[in-house]
């Protein structure tokens, strides 16, 4: 079916602007080999990492429909991100997960068996970060079960509550893993934009839970402040140390994302960043508990309050940028990867065309980081050639990084 | 929610289509909308929005004030009577206040005007607020379960059945009052019959409650057109067959049937909070009564907590599913994509449809974007009008962006 093929092509980042085949080539060949009519000379190569805006994706990609072949050497190298860590970006994924579910697949097939089987398949065929995440989740689950059982048998309530906290964290990480696996499905009739939004959703949920955790730590600190140092549970040290070690292992796995402010270029970036922040905050919390115990043995007063308060504030500050970024994508704000001045300039350039009398209702939003979608409405003088105007507008926006554009032309 | 207020603009569009003769270019006024976002916020929808928003905000404000008063009473009483159960209940109420505050904030923000950064307006914040509320419910349930298991291990001592019962009864009464307040839309005639739906006493199990609730839903749903668009309904899984029946009802075009207001999702999420609380109160009352009769069965307290926590989770499931579907930009449930495509292809001049995307900003506000390929000799303006008119009449989607492409004649 033509629309399925078009849909499938539209989700690839390398897709050229989606237009019907061009008219006889007498028009475009007069423009010289690599200069599109809107003058796409931006003065920087695609390797220039000084700029956060992801124009660089589109600059790499040739216009597949033009009769002039462009060089493709640059697009074959993986685009390394912000740091020089030795973890490379995940390779091109082997898609062992098949088609989308069709009608309402994800939400209707949420049976336990279905999800478990898709997770298992994902881990076997997944890329490296997924496998590491699965390893971490299994470690956490094993550890929290052990803690729960020990707590129940020895009658220590503190261990049980810690085990529950860990289980919550595990549940969140499992949701992140599920998002990584499910987001590779092809778009279908119901989820016309595909499933990539799941990664942003999981990042947002992680950030939200981390904010809750920081609030609850603050409440605990208050509680410890009001209630004097009656029984501090010193036996929790062992569990805190183990927790710290497990989480530090997780931080090491995702160390290229261990930063507070990251430029998100792909959908997975947000998910990996949220996982890293999750294990990071958990390790900060364990470290805080250990420090509190140590200070108490040293005889520092109100040590618990201080440490818990410090941990709570730190986690809050660390998580806030991710929360804002993922929230702004879910709220359909203007794309973070396209500078607002560029959008204005684009609209002005379009209205400066001699055939166009007005540009209105220009709306842009991001589906996932790096994939912007827009719609605008232009008024064209009667008798003008709509194909060339469409081609111009699509090309201009595509250079800015807006992959999906719907232009409504009205003839006045 | 907003389906009613498109009626004035819809009848306005119909008039224009009939009056203007074929081929005239005075059709511009129907396409270029007054104000920045047509259908989403022209003057008619904005005033209706504002009225509904004010009504919802008033309701929530009263609920918050009630909650705070009750919480203060409970804290004072709990300190005086030295009972942990009452203070726990007060903490639970605090979380309720937090959830209501989130709903109020979302309602207030959703009235702001659209800015270039936030080009679709602020309606999405409602959805994020609802998601945060539901996650708070889940977190609280987790805390309660953790407390229950902790108490299983470490029995805290004498539990007074009388006190439990009294507090729970009081809580139930307050919750019922708030549920009536939040669930009652004036002019709606929906008649949930909350009075008798919630009247449990001891003998009625939870199944009866749900069944009563749903029976009332059924009767009044038959009165309005679009039974299924009231898609945030509280049903438990045994009523799955009813869902299918309502889905069939939703296939009829909306044309000549009166539409009822859909509930504002924020008020609805607050309502679910209150419902969850009353379920918990019922559980505590049952536990308290049993302990009153036989004080040695302390474990009943914990079992009741666990069972009713699970029930609370079940009530949030459907709403969470709706929220997730909107955030994933999926096609809303009430719109049948295949029928829409077929209908569009049957219009004259239209050769093919591709890149069809339908998505919702919030419950009730649906947008559509697609590319339409027309025959090489057709009149683009006319086809555009026909397509927009068809979509508006049949599916009541008011914000539509159509890109018309001419099918290029291929030279051999």
Report chain A's mean pLDDT, rounded to a whole number.
76
In angstroms, the CA A29 to CA B174 distance is 77
The verdict on B299 and B373 lying in the same domain is no
The number of helix segments (H) and strand segments (E) in chain A equals: 12, 3
- CATH, residue B309: 1.20.1510
Residue B14 lies in a domain: no
* Phi-psi domain of A39 (left: phi exceeds 0; alpha: psi -120 through 50; beta: other): left
Q: What angle (nearest 5°) sits at the alpha carbon of residue B378, between those of residues B377 and B383?
A: 165
In angstroms, the CA A240 to CA A283 distance is 9
Q: Could A362 and B119 be called an inter-chain contact, meaning their C-beta atoms sit closer than 8 Å?
A: yes
Q: Could B384 and A410 be called an inter-chain contact, meaning their C-beta atoms sit closer than 8 Å?
A: yes
Report chain B's mean pLDDT, rounded to a whole number.
70
Residue B22 lies in a domain: no
Give the chain A residue nearest B400 (alpha carbons): A408
Domain of B367 in residue numbering reads as 337-406
pLDDT of residue B184: 65
- CATH, residue B379: 3.30.70.1350
Which one has a higher pLDDT value, A160 or A1?
Answer: A160
In angstroms, the CA B205 to CA B212 distance is 12
Neighbours of A344 (CB within 10 A): 12
Domain final position from A285, A311, A330: A330
The verdict on B96 and B178 lying in the same domain is yes
Q: What is the pLDDT of residues A98-144, one digit of tens each?
A: 444 444 545 544 556 766 777 677 667 777 888 888 888 999 999 99
In angstroms, the CA A44 to CA B111 distance is 42
In angstroms, the CA A268 to CA A197 distance is 10
Structure tokens at B131: 């998601």
The verdict on A118 and A194 lying in the same domain is yes
Assess A386–B contact: CB distance below 8 Å, yes or no. Answer: yes
Q: CB under 8 Å to B360, separation ≥6 — which residues?
A: B326, B332, B366, B367
Whether the per-residue pLDDT at A304 is higher than 60: the answer is yes
Q: What is the DSSP string of B55-84?
A: HHHHHHHHHHHHHHHHHHHHHHHHHHHT-H
The verdict on B274 and B373 lying in the same domain is no
Which one has a higher pLDDT value, B82 or A396?
Answer: A396
Write out chain B residues lying below 8 Å of A334, CB-based: 116-119
In sign, the C-alpha dihedral spanning A3, A4, A7, A9 is negative
**Among B256-260, B334-338, B344-348, the least confident range:** B256-260
pLDDT of residue B193: 31
Residue A314 lies in a domain: yes
In angstroms, the CA A290 to CA A304 distance is 10
Q: Tell me the shortest Cα–Cα distance from A221 to chain B, in angstroms.
A: 16
In angstroms, the CA B336 to CA B134 distance is 28
Q: Tell me the shortest Cα–Cα distance from A351 to chain B, in angstroms.
A: 16
Distances (CA, A) of B329 to A332, A335, A407, B100, B281: 10, 16, 20, 26, 37
Strand spans (E) along B213-363: 350-362
The verdict on B365 and B316 lying in the same domain is no
Tell me A120's DSSP state.
Answer: H
Give the chain A residue nearest B149 (alpha carbons): A160
Give the chain B residue nearest A331 (alpha carbons): B124
Q: What is the pLDDT of residues B108-132, one digit of tens each?
A: 888 888 888 888 888 899 899 989 8
Q: Determine what percent of chain B is predicted with pLDDT higher than 90.
A: 11
- Provide the chain A residues 160-179 that lie in CB contact (below 8 A) with chain B: 160-161, 164, 168
Measured between alpha carbons, how far apart are the two ends of chain A, in Å?
35
Structure tokens at B348: 């004259």
pLDDT of residue B81: 64
pLDDT of residue B367: 92
- Provide the chain B residues 313-352 that lie in CB contact (below 8 A) with chain A: 321, 324-325, 327-331, 333, 337-338, 352
**SS3 at position A57:** helix
Residue among A404, A358, A394 nearest B31 (CA): A358
Residue B24 lies in a domain: no
Nearest by CB to residue B142, choosing from A23, A24, A168, is: A168
Give the chain A residue nearest B26 (alpha carbons): A412
pTM: 0.73
Q: CB under 8 Å to B6, separation ≥6 — which residues?
A: B39, B45, B396, B398
The verdict on B399 and B323 lying in the same domain is no
Residue A156 lies in a domain: yes
As a whole number, mean pLDDT of residues B35-56 equals 66
The verdict on B171 and B96 lying in the same domain is yes
Nearest by CB to residue B369, choosing from A2, A382, A406, is: A406
Domain final position from A330, A352, A376: A330
- Which of A231-240, A378-387, B11-20, B279-288 holds the top average pLDDT? A378-387
Write out chain A residues lying below 8 Å of B25, CB-based: 382, 411-412
Q: Residues B359, B330: contact at Cβ < 8 Å?
A: yes
The verdict on B295 and B349 lying in the same domain is no
B372: which strand partners?
Answer: B353, B404
The verdict on A316 and A365 lying in the same domain is no
Domain final position from B308, B328, B348: B328
Write out chain B residues lying below 8 Å of A151, CB-based: 153
Q: How confident is the model at residue A34 (pLDDT cuts 50, 70, 90)?
A: low
Residue A169 lies in a domain: yes
Burial of A276 (0-12, 13-18, 19+ CB in 10 A): buried
pLDDT of residue B251: 43
Q: Tell me the shortest Cα–Cα distance from A157 to chain B, in angstroms.
A: 6
Domain final position from B296, B328, B360: B328
As a whole number, mean pLDDT of residues A280-307 equals 88
Distances (CA, A) of A287 to A257, A292, B183, B312: 20, 9, 47, 35
**Among A34-38, A113-117, A136-140, A180-184, the least confident range:** A34-38
Interface A-B: count of C-beta contacts within 8 A: 166
The verdict on A257 and A163 lying in the same domain is yes
Assess B25–A contact: CB distance below 8 Å, yes or no. Answer: yes
Q: Tell me the shortest Cα–Cα distance from A279 to chain B, in angstroms.
A: 19
Q: CB under 8 Å to A149, separation ≥6 — which residues?
A: none
Q: Could B405 and A334 be called an inter-chain contact, meaning their C-beta atoms sit closer than 8 Å?
A: no
- CATH, residue A372: 3.30.70.1350
Q: Could B370 and A152 be called an inter-chain contact, meaning their C-beta atoms sit closer than 8 Å?
A: no
Write out chain A residues lying below 8 Å of B381, CB-based: 410-411
Q: Residues A200, A330: contact at Cβ < 8 Å?
A: yes
The verdict on A351 and A308 lying in the same domain is no
Nearest by CB to residue B117, choosing from A151, A334, A411, is: A334
Q: Residues B392, B368: contact at Cβ < 8 Å?
A: no
In angstroms, the CA A294 to CA A300 distance is 9
Half-sphere exposure of A307 (CA within 13 A, CB side): 18
Q: What is the pLDDT of residues A51-109, one digit of tens each?
A: 455 444 444 444 443 333 334 334 444 444 444 444 444 444 444 444 444 445 455 44
The secondary structure element, H or E, covering residue B317 is helix B299-327
Whether the per-residue pLDDT at B39 is higher than 50: the answer is no
The verdict on B282 and B170 lying in the same domain is yes
In angstroms, the CA A305 to CA A302 distance is 5
In angstroms, the CA B171 to CA B71 distance is 10
Nearest by CB to residue A20, choosing from B36, B117, B408, is: B408
Q: What is the pLDDT of residues A146-163, one digit of tens each?
A: 988 888 888 777 788 888
Q: Tell me the shortest Cα–Cα distance from B194 to chain A, in angstroms.
A: 30
Domain of A176 in residue numbering reads as 106-330
Whether the per-residue pLDDT at B159 is higher than 90: the answer is no
Domain final position from B306, B328, B350: B328
Write out chain B residues lying below 8 Å of A333, CB-based: 117-118
Nearest by CB to residue A23, choosing from B154, B337, B408, is: B408
Assess A149–B contact: CB distance below 8 Å, yes or no. Answer: no
The verdict on A248 and A379 lying in the same domain is no
Assess B368–A contact: CB distance below 8 Å, yes or no. Answer: no
The verdict on B321 and B346 lying in the same domain is no
The verdict on A325 and A348 lying in the same domain is no
Nearest by CB to residue A332, choosing from B124, B358, B401, is: B124
In sign, the C-alpha dihedral spanning B266, B268, B274, B277 is negative
pLDDT of residue A244: 93
Query: How far is Cα of residue A104 from the mean position of the Cα atoms in its chain?
Result: 23
The verdict on A275 and A237 lying in the same domain is yes
Assess A19–B contact: CB distance below 8 Å, yes or no. Answer: yes
Instruction: At B350, give phi and psi (nearest 5°).
Output: -90, 125
Instruction: At B60, give phi and psi (nearest 5°).
Output: -65, -35
Q: Tell me the shortest Cα–Cα distance from B358 to chain A, in angstroms.
A: 8
Distances (CA, A) of A110 to A113, A117, A125, A333, B329: 8, 11, 21, 30, 19
As a whole number, mean pLDDT of residues B357-373 equals 90
Residue among A403, A261, A263 nearest A319 (CA): A261
- Provide the chain B residues 101-160 that lie in CB contact (below 8 A) with chain A: 116-120, 122, 124-125, 128, 131-132, 135-136, 139, 142, 145-146, 149-150, 153-154
> In what side-by-side order are the strands of the sheet with B350-362?
B350-362, B365-374, B399-406
**SS3 at position A408:** strand
Residue B23 lies in a domain: no
pLDDT of residue B44: 66
For an interface test with A, give the residue of B355, B366, B367 to mutate (most A CBs within 10 A).
Answer: B355
Query: How far is Cα of residue B88 from the mean position of the Cα atoms in its chain?
Result: 29
Q: What is the DSSP string of B235-254?
A: --GGGHHHHHHHHHHTTS-S
Helical pair A157-182 and A236-253, crossing angle rounded to 10 deg: 20
Give the chain B residue nearest A164 (alpha carbons): B146
- Provide the chain A residues 210-239 that lie in CB contact (below 8 A) with chain B: 212
Residue keyed to tokens 């029928």: B339
Measured between alpha carbons, how far apart are the two ends of chain B, in Å?
54
The verdict on A214 and A358 lying in the same domain is no
ipTM comes to 0.74
Q: Could B403 and A363 be called an inter-chain contact, meaning their C-beta atoms sit closer than 8 Å?
A: no
Distances (CA, A) of B152 to A232, B162, B307: 21, 21, 15
Whether the per-residue pLDDT at A37 is higher than 70: the answer is no
In angstroms, the CA A329 to CA A358 distance is 28
- CATH, residue A272: 1.20.1510.10
In angstroms, the CA B390 to CA B400 distance is 11
Write out chain B residues lying below 8 Å of A111, CB-based: none
Assess A242–B contact: CB distance below 8 Å, yes or no. Answer: no
Residue keyed to tokens 């959830």: B99
Structure tokens at B178: 């708030």
- How many domains is chain A built from? 2
The verdict on B276 and B299 lying in the same domain is yes
- How many domains is chain B built from? 2
Nearest by CB to residue B118, choosing from A23, A155, A331, is: A331
Which one has a higher pLDDT value, A38 or B111?
Answer: B111
Write out chain A residues lying below 8 Å of B331, CB-based: 189-192
Residue B386 lies in a domain: yes
As a whole number, mean pLDDT of residues B25-51 equals 54
Q: Tell me the shortest Cα–Cα distance from A380 to chain B, in angstroms.
A: 11
Q: CB under 8 Å to B247, separation ≥6 — which residues?
A: B228, B333
The verdict on B385 and B275 lying in the same domain is no
């Amino acid at each position: 079916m033509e629309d399925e093929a078009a849909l499938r092509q539209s989700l690839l980042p390398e897709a050229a602007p989606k237009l019907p085949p061009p008219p006889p080539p007498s028009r475009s060949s007069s423009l010289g080999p690599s200069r599109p009519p809107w003058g796409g000379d931006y003065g920087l190569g695609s390797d220039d990492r000084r700029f956060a805006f992801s124009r660089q994706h589109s600059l790499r990609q040739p216009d597949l429909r033009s009769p002039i072949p462009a060089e493709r050497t640059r697009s074959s190298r993986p685009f390394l991100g912000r740091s020089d860590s030795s973890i490379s970006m995940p390779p091109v994924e082997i898609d062992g997960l098949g088609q989308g579910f069709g009608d309402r697949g994800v939400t209707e097939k949420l049976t336990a068996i279905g999800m478990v089987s898709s997770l298992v398949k994902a881990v076997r065929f997944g890329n490296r970060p997924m496998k590491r995440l699965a390893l971490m989740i299994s470690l956490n689950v094993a550890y929290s079960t052990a803690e729960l059982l020990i707590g129940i048998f020895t009658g220590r309530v503190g261990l049980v509550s810690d085990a529950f906290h860990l289980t919550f964290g595990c549940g969140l990480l499992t949701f992140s893993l599920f998002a990584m696996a499910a987001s590779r499905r092809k778009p279908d009739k119901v989820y016309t934009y595909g499933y990539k939004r799941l990664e942003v959703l999981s990042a947002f949920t992680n950030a939200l839970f981390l904010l809750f955790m920081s609030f609850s730590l603050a409440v605990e600190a208050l509680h410890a402040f009001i209630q004097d140092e009656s029984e501090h549970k010193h036996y929790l040290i062992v569990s805190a140390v183990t927790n710290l070690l497990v989480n530090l292992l997780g931080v090491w796995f995702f160390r290229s994302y261990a930063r507070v402010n990251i430029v998100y270029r792909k959908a997975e970036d947000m998910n990996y960043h949220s996982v890293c922040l999750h294990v990071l905050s958990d390790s900060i919390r364990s470290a805080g508990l250990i420090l509190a115990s140590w200070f108490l043995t040293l005889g520092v007063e109100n040590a618990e309050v201080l440490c818990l308060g410090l941990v709570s504030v730190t986690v809050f500050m660390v998580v806030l940028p991710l929360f804002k970024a993922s929230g702004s994508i879910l709220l359909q704000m203007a794309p973070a990867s396209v500078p607002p001045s560029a959008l204005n300039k684009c609209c002005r350039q379009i209205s400066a065309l001699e055939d166009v009398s007005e540009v209105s209702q220009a709306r842009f939003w991001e589906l996932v980081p790096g994939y912007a979608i827009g719609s605008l409405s232009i008024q064209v003088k009667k008798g003008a050639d709509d194909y060339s105007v469409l081609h111009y507008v699509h090309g201009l926006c595509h250079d800015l990084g807006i992959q999906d554009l719907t232009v409504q032309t009205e003839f006045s | 929610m907003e389906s009613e207020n498109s009626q004035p603009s819809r009848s306005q569009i119909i008039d224009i289509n009939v009056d203007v003769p074929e081929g005239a270019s005075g059709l511009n006024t129907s396409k270029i909308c007054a104000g920045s976002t047509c259908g989403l916020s022209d003057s008619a929808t904005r005033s209706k929005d504002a009225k509904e928003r004010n009504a919802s905000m008033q309701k929530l404000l009263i609920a918050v004030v009630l909650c705070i008063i009750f919480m203060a009473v409970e804290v004072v009483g709990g300190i005086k009577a030295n009972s942990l159960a009452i203070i726990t209940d007060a903490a639970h109420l605090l979380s309720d206040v937090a959830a209501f505050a989130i709903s109020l904030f979302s309602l207030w923000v959703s009235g702001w005007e659209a800015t270039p950064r936030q080009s679709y307006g602020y309606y999405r914040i409602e959805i994020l607020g609802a998601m945060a509320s539901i996650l708070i419910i889940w977190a609280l349930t987790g805390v309660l379960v953790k407390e229950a298991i902790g108490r299983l291990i470490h029995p805290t001592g004498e539990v007074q059945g009388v006190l439990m019962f009294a507090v729970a009864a009081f809580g139930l009464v307050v919750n019922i009052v708030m549920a009536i307040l939040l669930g009652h839309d004036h002019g709606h005639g929906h008649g949930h019959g909350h009075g008798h739906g919630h009247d449990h006493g001891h003998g009625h199990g939870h199944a009866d409650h749900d069944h009563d609730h749903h029976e009332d839903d059924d009767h009044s749903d038959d009165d309005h057109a679009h039974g299924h668009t009231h898609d945030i309904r509280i049903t438990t899984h045994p009523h799955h067959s009813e869902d299918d029946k309502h889905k069939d009802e939703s296939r009829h075009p909306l044309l000549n049937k009166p539409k009822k207001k859909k509930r504002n999702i924020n008020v609805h999420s607050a309502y679910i909070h209150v419902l969850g609380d009353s379920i918990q109160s019922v559980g505590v009352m049952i536990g308290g009564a049993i302990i009153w009769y036989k004080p040695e069965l302390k474990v009943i307290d914990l079992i009741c907590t666990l069972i009713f926590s699970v029930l609370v989770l079940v009530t949030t499931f459907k709403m969470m599913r709706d929220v997730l579907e909107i955030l994933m930009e999926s096609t809303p449930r009430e719109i049948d994509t295949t029928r829409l495509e077929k209908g569009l292809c049957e219009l004259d001049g239209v050769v093919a449809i591709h890149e069809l995307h339908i998505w919702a900003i919030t419950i009730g506000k649906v947008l559509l974007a697609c590319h339409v390929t027309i025959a090489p000799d057709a009149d683009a303006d006319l086809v555009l009008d026909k397509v927009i008119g068809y979509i508006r009449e049949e599916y009541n989607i008011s914000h539509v962006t159509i890109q018309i492409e001419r099918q290029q004649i291929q030279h051999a």
